[in-house]
Structure 1
Amino acid sequence: MDENLKEIVLENSESIVKMWMIEVAKLKSENYTATISDDLFENTNREFVNVIFESIKDGGSTKSVELFSEKIINLGWPLSYITDGLQVFRRVTIEYILDTTEKVNSGSFSVILTSVDQWVEPIIRQLVNEYSGSWENIVSLQRVALQELSAPLIPVVEGITVMPLIGTIDTERAKLIMENLLDGVIRHNAEVVLIDITGVPVVDTMVAHHIIQAAEAVRLVGATCILSGIRPEIAQTIVNLGIDLEKFPTKSTLEKGFMSALEKTNRKISDLDAAKEFDIEKLLNSIKGV
């Protein structure tokens, strides 16, 4: 940037900031930041413009740009806030320089445009790159977290594990379900695996096929698979599609599925209150007998 123009901008930074703040506020309803409180919006704008001026003073302050882009992502603000703000800053700066310059010929006007562009363009590229890189990293981490939560295998009691499924099941998620099932059966030494589809909104041919494959894989490693959460509408769909689930026990609720799993592992649930009452009565009778 031309040193004379740079000096003009830095010496009159307060005036340029005021103009910029006014123009940026007009865009609040256009760049998806209309719901943000006025105080937060104004404070962030001031931080934004400080980052811009730091860049021109230092010839490009990478750290401040990086921190600001991360802040915008954490706030959930769109990329358009950054690009719109910098475009407004370019326009306001050029207008201010033109207004303060006594005589502007075609040559000096071209110099002003070129100089401001050479200053603003690197900031735009850096902010956009930092924003995009941080966003991709966050999305990648979220994808991994969602995958870990999309097919959890929960050991309930010894020999019995439960996999509650929620949401739609596509090919990628079905592969993850299969991997988690087989790994969990071996790791927890499970005898019975309950796959609960209460939270699966739609069971079509593809979903049923994936579930059958998973249940068959569990059977091949020596465990039994029980399918629970068969709602009436899902049962009707399965019948209409001609899907054969005869090889695998099915239950309407997770509770019934768990009871069936207990039976298969030679367990049962006893009424503790009744057992205590029986013991007390037996003790009283024995005392009376004495």
Structure 2
Amino acid sequence: MNQLVYGFIIKNQDYILDEWMKRMKEKADERLIKVVSDQMFTRTSREFIDMVISNIQNNNDEFKYKLSEFAEKVVRLGWPLTFVNEGLREFNLIVFEAMQENGVVTPDNQMEIIYDFDRWSTPMNNEIVHMYSQTWEKTVSLQKIALQELSAPLIPVLEGITVMPLVGTIDTERAKQIMENLLNGVVKHRSEVVLIDITGVPVVDTMVAHHIIQAAEAVRLVGAKCMLCGIRPEIAQTIVNLGINLNEIITKNSLKNGVEAALELTSRKIIEVEE
């Protein structure tokens, strides 16, 4: 980078940071600013400026480290890529305008400095976009895995008895996850009875019923009994109207009744103890 530009940026870091934060707050979506405190916004802005300056100083290792840290933070904070790109453009504009006001940029060297700015900022902008995209994809992938695990948990409640509570709609992808978790969980927990609780499933259509029947059959093949709990009146009516055969599956209208039935199947029962 041009030594005039480099020297000016290093000397005026505080002014550049203050002006950058003021302008970016004006440009930012109100929701973006509300989710972070002023202290967090200031700290993150300082990290952004420090990252840019480390690139100016040609400290490649430090720049990549700071870029990675910055990308992870702004993805967590929900800063969109457009806001980050706008931040870099605004940084260049602030520096150029300040250099003009201070007489550092003259008609004689103006084009040279503009060209130097572009040659420096374009590769950095590409690197920022690349790192942000990688971090975003990684975050989304981890969230997807976490959601998949939570979408069909198999919970051991008593020895030999496990429960899978289902909430929300069931599509083909989630049905595969249910099947996989069921089979792995039955073996892992040595389950004798598995209760699939559909109290939180809003709609049971032909496809959902088909997936449940498949899951029950798979559980039976690995040596456990499957019980379907939480069948509300409207769901029972839907199943009858659709002509779906659930004769091979034990059904209960609530999880409580299902647990009591599961205890009987495992030669146990709940008794009241008088004090």
- TM bucket by the smaller chain? 0.7 to 0.9
CA distance in 2, matches of 1:238, 1:30: 48
CA distance in 1, matches of 2:7, 2:247: 82
> Contact 1:31/1:80 (CA < 8 Å) preserved in 2?
no
> Contact 1:227/1:251 (CA < 8 Å) preserved in 2?
yes
Structure 1 residues 38-47 or 172-181, which shifts more?
Answer: 38-47
Partner in structure 2 of residue 225 of structure 1: 226
1:81: how far off?
2.9
Partner in structure 1 of residue 131 of structure 2: 130
Partner in structure 2 of residue 281 of structure 1: none
CA distance in 2, matches of 1:163, 1:246: 20
CA distance in 2, matches of 1:178, 1:111: 64
1:158: how far off?
2.8
2:107 aligned with 1:104? yes
CA distance in 2, matches of 1:67, 1:258: 49
Partner in structure 1 of residue 93 of structure 2: 91
User: Is there any run of 5+ residues in structure 1 with no aligned partner, and where?
Assistant: 277-290
* CA deviations over 1:36-64 (Å, ceiling 9, x no partner): 33333233223322222222123542222
User: Is there any run of 5+ residues in structure 2 with no aligned partner, and where?
Assistant: none
* CA deviations over 1:92-129 (Å, ceiling 9, x no partner): 22223334246415xx4332222112222233222222
3-state SS of the aligned residue for 2:163? strand
Q: Radius of gyration: which is bigger?
A: 1
3-state SS of the aligned residue for 1:32? helix
Cα 1:11/1:156, change in 2 over 3 Å = closer
Alignment of 1:1-290 (within 5 A): 1-29=1-29, 32-60=32-60, 61-99=63-101, 100-101=103-104, 103-105=106-108, 108-273=109-274
Q: Which amino acid is the alignment partner of residue 231 of structure 2?
A: I
> Contact 1:166/1:199 (CA < 8 Å) preserved in 2?
yes
Equivalent pairs, count:
272
Partner in structure 2 of residue 280 of structure 1: none
Q: TM-score under structure 1 normalisation?
A: 0.83
> Contact 1:162/1:196 (CA < 8 Å) preserved in 2?
yes
1:226: how far off?
0.9
CA distance in 2, matches of 1:131, 1:64: 12
Cα 1:21/1:192, change in 2 over 3 Å = closer
Q: TM-score under structure 2 normalisation?
A: 0.88
Q: Which runs of at least 4 in structure 1 moved beyond 4 Å after TM superposition? A: none
Cα 1:239/1:140, change in 2 over 3 Å = same
State the identity as a percent: 51
CA distance in 2, matches of 1:149, 1:102: 58
CA RMSD of aligned residues (A): 2.3
CA distance in 2, matches of 1:9, 1:184: 59
Cα 1:66/1:191, change in 2 over 3 Å = closer
CA distance in 1, matches of 2:142, 2:76: 14
* CA deviations over 1:63-96 (Å, ceiling 9, x no partner): 2222222222233333333112111112222223
Cα 1:133/1:259, change in 2 over 3 Å = same
